[in-house]
């Protein structure tokens, strides 16, 4: 028996049951990038840290301001912040011995755009 695939027909009309892809799906590279960002946000501490950085005046926070609210050591908080920086969600700048973190402009908006449902055609 040959290995073939036939398209099932809807008995009510003559169109195939499966609908074709008509919108733009993201590429493999984009999917890898988006998945890495969502993976970084898969930890509740990192979500809180991102939220706290965004809530600080000027959208920027020193690591020293973030340790007490999350109840973790400076080293652990720095590790979580590094994951967020590596995922492209935060930037880091050094001022003396302190590191300051800020949201990457548009990073959260681009994640939200992936999650939006396209309008029906």
Mean pLDDT by 10-residue block, N- to C-terminus, for the chain (121 residues)? 50 63 78 91 96 91 93 95 96 92 91 77 60
Contact between residue 66 and residue 75 where contact means Cβ atoms under 8 Å apart: no
For residues 53 and 45, is the Cβ–Cβ distance under 8 A?
Answer: no
The reported pLDDT for the residue numbered 25 is 78
The CATH number of 30-115, from 1.10.10.10, 3.90.25.10, 3.30.420.10, 3.40.50.150, is 1.10.10.10
Taking the C-alpha atoms of residue 62 and residue 56, their distance in angstroms, rounded to an integer, is: 10
The predicted-structure confidence for 19-41, as pLDDT tens digits, reads as follows 676 667 788 998 898 899 999 99
pTM: 0.75
DSSP state, residue 89:
S
Query: Could you state, in order of their start, the residue ranges of all structural domains in the chain?
Result: 30-115
Cα distance between residue 100 and residue 121, in whole Å: 45
| 3-state DSSP assignment of residue 3 | coil
State residue 13's pLDDT score: 57
Q: Are the beta carbons of 77 and 34 closer than 8 angstroms?
A: no
State how far the Cα of 65 lies from the Cα of 45, in Å rounded to an integer. Answer: 14
């Amino acid at each position: 028996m040959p290995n073939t695939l036939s398209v099932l027909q809807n008995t009510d009309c003559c169109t195939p049951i499966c609908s074709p892809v008509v919108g733009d799906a993201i590429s493999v590279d984009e999917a890898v990038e988006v998945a890495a960002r969502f993976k970084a946000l898969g930890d509740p501490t990192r979500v809180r840290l991102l939220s706290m950085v965004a809530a600080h005046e000027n959208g920027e926070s020193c690591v020293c301001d973030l340790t007490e609210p999350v109840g973790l050591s400076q080293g652990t908080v720095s590790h979580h912040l590094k994951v967020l920086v590596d995922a492209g969600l935060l930037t880091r700048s050094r001022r003396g011995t302190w590191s300051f973190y800020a949201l990457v402009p548009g990073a959260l908006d681009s994640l939200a755009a992936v999650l939006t449902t396209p309008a029906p055609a």
